[in-house]
Each structure stands twice: as C-alpha cells, then as structure tokens.
Structure 1
Amino acid sequence: MAFTHIWHKLYLHRQKVTLACLFILFLLTGPVAQAQKIKALNKPGYDERPVHYGFYLAMPLTKYNLHHSQAYADQLNGGSDMSIRTKNEIGFYTGLVLNVRLADYLDGRFVPGVGFYGRTIEFKNVPTNVETAEVMSETVPNTMVELPLLLKYKAKRRSNIRPYIVAGIKPSIDLGKGNTGANDELALEVEKYDLALEYGIGIDIFYPYFKFAPELRFSHGLINQHKPVASSIYSGYIQKLTHHNVSLIFFFE
C-alpha cells in the first residue's frame, strides 16, 4: 500500500532536525508539562519489576537510500537528462513490548511488530520501449514482520519523568510480493529479508495506572534490498537500495 508523499524537497538532515524539533515541542507542551503538575510518585515500584509488558503505535517517515548503477552514469555521460530519485512516504507500524530489567539503569527490550510501508522511486525522462509519461513513480509496498532487539539506558527518575536512549538491531521479513506489479520492462523487486541498525531517544512519563513513553527513533538498513530484474530497464539503473526510517513511537506499558 502507498501512503501520502510529503517533504520530498527536503534533504535528509533537514528532515531529522524538523522531526526532532516537533518531538521536543510535543514533550515541552504535552505530557511532560502535565506530569510535572502531579506531586505524588506514580507507580513507585515499577523499576524493580524484572519483566513488564506493553504495546506501541508508530508513524515512520520512510524512504530508500538509492545508489545508481554504472549504466545510469553512462547515460548521464552521454548527455541524457534523465534522473532517478527516491521520495519520502508516511508508513505505520505497531507491536508488543517485552521489557527485561538487566541492571539499575539498563533494560533489554524485545518489541516485535508488523509494519506497513510504501517506498517510492521516481523516474524522470528514462527511455523505455513502452509508452510512459515523462515522470513515472514506482512504489514498492512492504508488509514487514519486524523483530527489534534493543538496549535501553535510563537516566535517574525525577518525580514522574525519566529520559532514556535506546539502540539495537532490527531483523525483518517481508510478507508481501516484494515488487511493484509493473510489466517486465518497468519492474522493480526487493529482497525478502532485511536487517537494520536502530537508535533513538525518548522519555518515560509515569501515570497512576500506566507508563507512557514517546520516542524518536532512527533506523538505517544494512542490507541491499535491490533484487536485479534482467528484463527491466528501471532495475538496470539501480545498484543498491537500503531503507531509512525516522519514526515517532508511542509506548504504553
């Protein structure tokens, strides 16, 4: 499934700064301000639990990082004005939380879930043997089973709030078709398995009956997802595809 295309003119570092500013603004004006008004210590024995559970909802800004092939470079050297670039899309994923206490300020977290993504590649002025528009967009839909394994390092709790950082790896499996569904000459295919490096920051906010934690997390794919299609002109101009996500996640534990 494809999602609304936004911010396609921003550079990657500008996307991170914008999301980080929105995240900080949310924390300053939302749940943190509310939590600071609460004088009683909520869930005082929470950190001594060896195991606890929860669930999460997440909205990632996602795209492919694209490396062009030598065939693409040869076309440009020959005077072609074609271009191939990726677009940013909004996705969605959700899942469960298994948190294990390892030390006073360190937890291990297993947060399996399922994600729905639609990453788009735009082809402009690409010569083909079939009739196409000047600009063509091909979207690769992915339905991913994701199995993140993370370490969470927590600061000392202050009243009912506590900042933290997380880092780890995320293996994932694509349950979808792994292709755009286009004809052979325009087809794009991706690999079934992926592995990503993840890291982020967040803040635990303790309420009387649950803990809420907004988190900003970055995910960088480590495995080339591009699967060459011999009959595809589009595929021939791509050497490597890796995914990149910037996600706003809401945990309820």
Structure 2
Amino acid sequence: MWKTVLKTNIIIAICFATIANAQLFRTKDRMDNLEGFDNQKFSYGFYLAGNNFDYKLVLDPRFGMNGQKSLVQTKSSYSFGAGLIGKFRLNDNFDLRFEPGLQFVEREIFFDTQSNDQFQAGTPANAPFTPRPLTDADKLRTVKSTYVDLPLLIEVHGDRWYNSRPYAAAGVNWMMNLQSNSTAPDDNAQGLFRTTTSNFAWSAEIGIQFYFSRFKLTPGFRGTFMMNDEMVADNPGTPPYWSAAISSAKTRALMFVLKFE
C-alpha cells in the first residue's frame, strides 16, 4: 500500500513540477497565454472536488458527557463533488463567482450513551423512559447526505505573473440536503438520524490560477462551515441515547477543487 502511495505522490510531484517549470520559471521567448481572457465580463467553466466532511459537535453536558468523557464521537469521510462556474468581472482585481454544485457525503456518528440509563426516572430535560440495551447497530449511525451547494463568492486576485496569479475568495452558501429525512416519522429509535434540509454556511478559498493556451486551470483549497444546527431532534418519548446527547451538529468541510475555465 505504501509503495502505491509513494508512487502516486511522485507522479503528482512530477506533474506539478512540470506545470511550475512551464508556467513560472521558463521566461525566455515565452508568450503569455489567454491574454484577454480575464477582461471578459462573463466567463464559464466547471469544477471537480475532493472533499473531507465532518460534524462539529457540541454535546449536551448531561446526556452527552459522563464526567469528562465525551459519549458521542464523529468520524469524517472522503467524498467527491462537481459543479459549474459562472464568473462576473467587477474590476481588475475583483470578481463575483457563483458555483452551483453537488457534494456527495457520508459520515459516521458513534453513541456510547448506555450510561444515560441513570436518567430513566426522568429529569427536567426528559420524561421517564424504559432503558434498553444498546446494540452495535444502535450505537452507530451512518449519515448520508447529498448537498445542493450554492455558493456566492467574492474573489480577489493579485497581478498576473506570466501564466499564473494567486487568488483568495470568500462568501456564503445555501446548501440543500436532499437526504435530510427531516420530515420522516421515524427517528433514532428506528435507526434514522434526521437532519435539516435547508442550511446556510460560509466559505473561504485560496489557490493559484494557471493559464494554458486553450483553458485556465485553477487548483485551490476551500473550507466550508455551516452556520446553523443541522440536527433534527428525536420524537418525544425516545430515550436520550441519541439526539438528546447533542446540543448542535454543524458541518465543516475541506475541499480540494480543480477548476477548468
């Protein structure tokens, strides 16, 4: 496995070294590519993304903690996404970008909350309940999400240096989860972790734009952070093993994007 990883890293390094040599360091007798491309009022393209999505959990101090021990853990996963690019030129240094896309996500949440049996008599936060032994299936929730991601970003870029230029961008996203199950009658008692459908986030991105003879390639890194709590509470009467243990669950994601314009 490690030999495969090493070979992959060597190939990637060679590719980037070739790009850097061709785009940045070979200055003799070289023409600038796509000289008038950035003067267009509108431009279009598409992007591919490799993602790492996770939940930022804030645990309930009563049901989500046992002393100093956290009873709920989350595991991130790697996934992919793709989308379109629409760019509106504001001036020489600023652009407005709209990049609708789809992000396919799968995450795991582990509930080690059997100790909440101590609250079976009821508390001000929950009604009395009958304890049940938690099986492995009860403790693990696999949360699948398909986000329709609609980010609106302001991009600022530096001056072009031969066939490259750096940029940074920031903005807000509306993210609709097509697999939220927010209105489903079942909850975690039946094995279903429900989340909200409509969500809002903010994003920040940095990268370098490379100009080739026929297109512009932009590798970049984007962070996306949900602003609202995505968790839908369990139904009344469900024991406090699951959603009661979590005060809020918000998505955070790191994406490596490749843009083609």
| TM-score (ref. length: structure 2) | 0.78
Q: Which runs of 4+ in 1 moved over 4 A?
A: 25-28, 179-183
1:139-169 deviation line (CA, Å, top 9, x unaligned): 2111111110001101000100000000001
CA contact (8 A) 1:196 1:220 kept: yes
Matched, 1:115 2:115: no
Q: Is residue 50 of structure 1 aligned with residue 41 of structure 2?
A: yes
Q: CA–CA distance in 2 between the matches of 1:30 and 1:65?
A: 39
Measured in 2, the distance between the counterparts of 1:170 and 1:45 equals 30
The verdict on how the C-alpha distance between 1:218 and 1:112 changes in structure 2, with shifts beyond 3 A counting, is same
Q: Is 2:105 aligned against 1:97?
A: no
Looking at structure 2, the residues matched to 221 and 30 of structure 1 have their Cα atoms a distance apart, in angstroms, of 37
Question: How many residue pairs end up in the alignment?
Answer: 227
CA distance in 1, matches of 2:54, 2:212: 35
Is the alpha carbon distance of 1:68 and 1:175 closer, same or farther for their aligned partners in structure 2, counting shifts above 3 Å?
same
Structure 1, unmatched stretches of 5+, are 1-24
Residues 140-159 of structure 1 mapped to structure 2, 5 A cutoff: 140-159=143-162
Contact kept? 2:188, 2:234, Cα under 8 Å: no
Q: Tell me whether 157-166 or 180-189 shows the greater mean CA deviation.
A: 180-189
| Counterpart selection for 2:219 from 205, 208, 214 | 214
Give deviations 1:222-244, integer Å, cap 9, x for gaps.
01001100325211111100000
Residue 198 of structure 2: aligned partner:
193
Q: Which has the larger radius of gyration?
A: 2
2:172 aligns with 169
1:240 correspondence with 2:248:
yes
Name which of 54, 70, 77 aligns with 2:61: 70
Name the aligned partner's letter for residue 43 of structure 1.
L
In the superposition, the TM-score normalised over structure 1's length comes to: 0.81
1:197 touches 1:222 (CA, 8 Å); kept in 2? yes
Equivalent position SS for 1:33: helix
Provide Cα deviations, 1:192-250, integer angstroms capped at 9, x if missing partner: 11111100101110000000000101111101001100325211111100000011000
What is the aligned counterpart of 1:88 among 53, 64, 76?
Answer: 76
Question: What's the Cα RMSD here?
Answer: 2.7
Identity %: 26
